[in-house]
Amino acid sequence: MTDPLSEPSTEQSDPRYSQIDRLPTLEIARLMNEADAGVPAAVALALPAISDAIDAIADRMGGGGRLLYVGAGTSGRLAVLDASECPPTFGTDPELVQGIIAGGREALTRSVEGAEDDADAGAAALAELEVGPLDSVVGVSASGRAPFVLGALAEAGRREALTVSLSCNEDAPLSAAAQHPIEVVVGPEVVTGSTRLKAGTAQKLVLNMISTISMVRLGRTYGNKMIEMSAMNSKLASRAVRMVRDITGAGPEEAGRALAEAGGQAKVAVLMIRHNLDAEGARALLRSHGERLSDALSG
């Protein structure tokens, strides 16, 4: 019989929840809510490690590198989700931030048997992407033991990429494989071993920080405004008009006209209005300031 103390905390059973199948719905909801409330505190304890990792990632991305997340199961789905939100939010090329999940695209919607246990497949996924020294690879695994992720991080290290791990257990094997280990220890789940719960929430919070703060460091926001977002629908188009108006003080017609001439690029429209430029002149000014709107406005 397996000694429960040898299991990672994410796999252990919490006696507080041993009778949940006999409780009223409201009481189960209350217990889950109480459990979830401890997740931000666990993340807070890891903030120094998270911050160090982000600075290292942003430095490499600033030199032309990519940010690659690697995970299995829930961790992989969260990784792909975070990566897929970067192009619409920050106007990035889809190749810049990528999520790699054990089992491939099929694993996004259903379990792929044995995929997370294949370390060679994890290494092969990184080799196929020709990971190099400018890239950053973040391995995501609640247990910190997924062989697919361990294989990917090992391959990333061999290729001299920056390696970061994100797990929810102390002294996880994944931590030993990374230059920047992040451990957010959330403890046992309400439903034993269901790491889509507290562990998944913790991973989502940290991935939010990694992608968002990296993009802030790279100048892909103006203050707290999504100045690089793609105005792909009416809601986002209206948001872009409001951003241009807020920054420049222009009226809605002038802001809308500038955005149309700028091809929907808010920061180009801002410079057109503030510096009385056409779209090409605004783009040239941006390029001369490393695409940073704040520098171009003051330059």
State the catalytic residues.
85, 116
Within 13 A of 241's CA, how many CA atoms are on the CB side? 14
CA torsion, ordered 39, 182, 47, 80, to nearest 10 deg: -70
Strand order in the sheet with 162-167: 97-101, 67-71, 136-140, 162-167, 180-183
Residue 71 phi/psi, 5-degree rounding, is -155, 175
